[in-house]
Amino acid sequence: MLLPLYQVDAFADRPFAGNPAAVCPLTKWLPEATMQAIAAENNLAETAFFVPKGENEHEYEIRWFTPAVEVELCGHATLASAHVLYRHLNFQPDEIVFHSKSGPLRVSKTDNGMLTLDFPARPPKPLPQHPSGLIDGLGATPLALLAGPDLVCVFATEAEVRALRPNQGRLAEVEFRGIIATAPGTDGIDFVSRFFGPRVGVPEDPVTGSAHTTLVPYWAGRLNKTSLRARQVSARGGELWCELRGERVLMSGHSVTYLKGEIELGQM
């Protein structure tokens, strides 16, 4: 069996930047163990699989796998999947609807060549106590903690976020999917962040769309504005143009194809 495979740098306007995601379009679902094995073999933060949803040519079902587990929401691999549909699979409508474990996710074209994700907002709530292992894991003490699907650690400056050198073993003890470090940005950037996910097999994710479903509501409230420009300050780095629109978060970015190929699974 041969399966198409694409690798896309999402939230980037050039290769070797942003967040690389593998995308595997399917005509029908593979066994879950096979998809997990493919994701482990790819060894990227996420591998996305999608299949057509019935006869509706605008809609697909989508699932995402890290090298270790399936996750319920992933931004950059959804952006990469939409890029593959538009760039390589001759998808024509202005909007794609992906059906996921987090509900319907819409991706639309923008006039400036970017794609926009429409995701559910997941506002965080204050967390009064430091979870065990957090301070040792980060090697720094945040000003504030907030709990959403991920643990948000708020710092005073961008420099502090950039300087973090986490102990991944200790961070893996913190009982959240991921650890987000964030601070106000500079030079026209409203806020910066980094994302660490050792519990799900991702020591540091280069650009994390799902994290911004929590970060955007927080920073929109703190800065009293709904349109925000964000930068994830990982080694590769990436930028997102974000908007809080009620209970939804819009995130726009560029994507570029790095490779096209095939997976050979033998007789299945």
The contacts of residue 69 (CB under 8 Å, 6+ apart) are 36, 200, 201
**How would DSSP label each residue in 34-47?**
HHHHHHHHHTSSEE
Given the residues 41, 46, 57, 264, the one annotated as active site: 46
Q: Are 174 and 132 in contact (CB under 8 A)?
A: yes
| Distance of alpha carbon 195 from alpha carbon 19, whole angstroms | 12
- The Cα 10–Cα 79 span in angstroms is 6
139 — alpha (psi -120 to 50), left (phi > 0) or beta? left
Burial of 188 by CB count in 10 Å (0-12 exposed, 13-18 middle, 19+ buried)? Answer: exposed
Tell me how far apart the alpha carbons of residues 215 and 193 are, in angstroms, rounded to a whole number.
9
Residue with the two structure tokens 């538009």: 86
Q: How far apart are CA 11 and CA 251, in angstroms?
A: 10
Q: What residues are paired with 97 via a beta bridge?
A: 59, 106
Annotated active-site residue 46? The verdict is: yes
Query: Where do we find the tokens 């959804």?
Result: 78
Report the 10 Å Cβ neighbour count for 53: 15
Phi-psi domain of 11 (left: phi exceeds 0; alpha: psi -120 through 50; beta: other): left
Structure tokens at 11: 């939230």
Catalytic residues: 46
